[in-house]
Amino acid sequence: MRVPAPLPACGLALLALTLTLDARQGHVHPILEVPLQPFAQQARRLETALRFLGQPLRPPDHEAINAALAMTDERAAVARLQAVLDPYVLAQVHINPESRVRVEQGAARPELVQGGTRLFLVKVINEAGVTAPLTVQSPNIGRVFISAWTSGGVPEPEMRLTQADVRDRWAEMSIYTEQPMRPRLSGLGIEYAILQVYSRDAGQRSALVGFNVGQGTQDIGFRNEVEILFTAAPAHPVRLRVQDEHGEGTTAAFVVRDELERLYPAVSKRLAPDFYFQPQVYRKDGSAIDLPAGEFTVTVTRGPEYLPQTRRFAVNGPMELLFRLARWIDPVRFGWYPGDHHIHSAGCSHYENPTEGVLPEDIWPQVEGEALSVASVLTWGPSYYFQKKFFTGQDHPLSTPSRLMRYDLEVSGFPSSHAGHVVLLGLKEQDYPGTRRLEDWPTWTLPVLRWAKDQGSVVGYAHSGWGLEVRSTELPNYEIPGFDGIGANEYIVTVTEPGTVDFISAGDTPYIWELNIWYHTLNVGFRTTISGETDFPCITDDRVGLARSYAKVDGALTYRKWIDAIRAGRSYVSDGRSHLMEFSVNGTASGTADSEVRLGAPGRVQVTVQAAARLDELPNAAIRRLRYDEKPYWDLERARIGDTREVPVEIVVNGERAAVQNLVADGTIRTLTFDIPLERSSWIAARILPSAHTNPVFVLVDGKPIRASRRSAEWCINAVNQCWIQKSPLIRASELEAARKAYDRARQIYRQRLAETAE
């Protein structure tokens, strides 16, 4: 074996050679020394990427990496890390001091699966400190050409293929360069890349696999190539029968793993409607997943209202699996329809061309597979010109009587975005008057909100907590945030404009940041509501409906009824794992009769709510130890009392907890009753933090308006001042005077309400 030459004098550590025996191959391979700190970070990056791509390292190897990083002998730690990673190496690439590349086959078994992708490591010994991209090439790559040939299409003249070409071009290979991996080599003496290999065929197939780091880097004698004999296991169709609680065919989410924890279909090569950034795929009744022979585990879910099912099964050939889904709760039975008003079909995680994104047909399985009744798919800046063609002002044709999808708008990536992103639901027209491009839109939010309200839209601020970050863990608290983000920042001004803003959003940012500004404005007498959202796939790409609103609709479901219930407050926000239905004060339910109760004098009111929650019997320690500003922000596990299966249902009066009853989170709906004393006009709501929150009922005592807190009024005044400092420099000169007047008007309103507040 040729021993690598010393590195050139370029600041890299010398590669010190030791030897190790690969037990599987019986070959002696070099174990080389590099600085531990960057090498350790690379090992962690590999672990993260492989886990994200659905083909993680084996658990013993993960533990071995942890043990290696805990070693005090850095040289031994580097050797141990290589010993752990090298069995995954399909090819070892040696770059000599002159940047010439030669390749040897590694220790990994060259095993593939028909119609699927396997991941391997490529070990790079980089004596030259090269930082160019590592490129793989092979004459056996040609999946695009093969597809055109076998589908009956006619390739371009320069791409015409013979039958021999079709036979030989059976593979697709690429180096994975997306985050957290890098598009270029780092220059470290040793590093590992991830190689993706797809096989069209089953059986044994040979491939000539080569690597280079730029033109002219191939070693003499074609030593930058190695011939590898792969064996691809045949794939078998596994037909999925999926029935809902009524025995009707439906769509569900499937997470399928083999005994090595590899995900199927392969994450790295998924195409819409399967999304690469999710472990699950959505399949409707009667569809199939192709799997090789072996043992598998599948977990089936259909949103938080259903009980998850996990099943082990063996594949030996074509087969069928039947799943009968069961609910633990069905709010729709009582008229409470779950919806997510903030879903995107473009931007953020959506594929390599986020300015176009995916089609409605790709979003629909997500909506159906998470059992959402209403989905608002919002066009926004990066995708505006492509996605706006799906906006009609009507339900999308894919909608059914019990499941509605409509395209609306988030003003994000527009000139006013610095002041807060706004959600516009139920629009009739999507283009702001007098504009021809996004850059022509207003540079602050009030004109946009007024325009939307003029056409009957229901409007509010998105991902409310951004820009409202505080250090406090108290709710309410009196810190003045930076007002330097894209959440409900200018809400502090527009809420003072009558009939202009309907709601702020909750569920997708830390709950203290979201709720604090809402509590303060309720305390000075404003009556905006909250609505649950996910901002899929931006803030989270786990799934749609991760946070949602349950809106009460009488009679047949329509989009208009649902958003009107959001506007009126006939709704509650939830992660779907806890529910607060029929919240009422003295018999008046939130969102009915203007959510208002009148008392002639101070006294007591009766508060009732139908509450239900469901926790696993054993706590989830991973979630419980997270700070409140770490995702998932809203999760019932955070509300668990100790190691019990109970959560607190709190009654909130003017932002402060007034009463609490513990609820057993076993899925049973229970009617809870509270007797609450009131000395003055107040707002009252129920919550299970951070999992569910109702909208308020407003109790007016002796006809007086709600003026609950001087400190809240003072907070609002200071908040307007801070918001102006942050936003005014970005407001267009032609709009600045109108904005200044609106801010001044807001200050005056808060000062007047401060003067009217006794405490």
For 419, the 3-state DSSP assignment is helix
As a whole-number percent, the residues of the chain with pLDDT over 70 amount to: 91
Of 261, 309, 260, 256, the closest CA to residue 287 belongs to: 256
* 26 has pLDDT over 60: no
* 70 has pLDDT over 60: yes
Which of the four pLDDT bands, split at 50, 70 and 90, describes residue 382? confident
* Beta partners for residue 418, in sequence order: none
Ordered alpha helix ranges (H), 388-475: 445-454
Q: Which two tokens stand for residue 506?
A: 């909750």
Q: What is the mean pLDDT of residues 516-530?
A: 98
pLDDT of the residue at 155 = 39
Close Cβ partners of 567 (under 8 Å, ≥ 6 residues apart): 458, 502, 503, 529
Q: What is the mean pLDDT of residues 113-118?
A: 92
Nearest 5°: the CA angle 689, 691, 694 is 80
Q: Which two tokens stand for residue 644?
A: 């019990």
Which of the four pLDDT bands, split at 50, 70 and 90, describes residue 161? low
Q: Is the dihedral of CA 380, 384, 390, 391 positive or negative?
A: positive
* 2 has pLDDT over 50: no
* Beta partners for residue 613, in sequence order: 578
Of 431, 372, 435, 432, the closest CA to residue 406 belongs to: 372
pLDDT of the residue at 28 = 39
Q: What is the mean pLDDT of residues 593-597?
A: 98
pLDDT of the residue at 222 = 56
* 359 has pLDDT over 60: yes
CA distance 276 to 134: 23
Q: Which residue segments constitute the domains of the chain, with CATH numbers given?
A: 17-201 (no CATH), 235-324 (2.60.40.10), 330-535+553-558 (3.20.20)
Is 465 in contact with 530 (CB distance < 8 Å)?
no
pLDDT of the residue at 350 = 74
Give 187-243 pLDDT, tens digit per residue: 999 999 999 999 999 999 999 999 999 866 665 555 789 999 999 999 999 999 999
Measured in degrees and rounded to the nearest 5, phi and psi for residue 717 equal: -65, -50
Pick the most confident of 144-158, 353-367, 443-457.
443-457
- What is the DSSP-derived secondary structure letter of residue 719? H
pLDDT: is 165 or 463 the higher one?
463
Which of 47-51, 483-487, 719-723 is predicted least confidently? 47-51
Is 586 in contact with 605 (CB distance < 8 Å)?
yes
pLDDT of the residue at 352 = 55
Measured in degrees and rounded to the nearest 5, phi and psi for residue 622 equal: -60, -40
pLDDT of the residue at 220 = 55
Average pLDDT of the chain to the nearest whole number? 91
CA distance 532 to 507: 6
**To which H or E segment does residue 313 belong?**
strand 309-315
pLDDT of the residue at 507 = 97
Which of the four pLDDT bands, split at 50, 70 and 90, describes residue 19? very low
CA distance 522 to 654: 7
As a whole-number percent, the residues of the chain with pLDDT over 90 amount to: 85
Task: For the chain, give the longest Cα–Cα distance.
Answer: 97
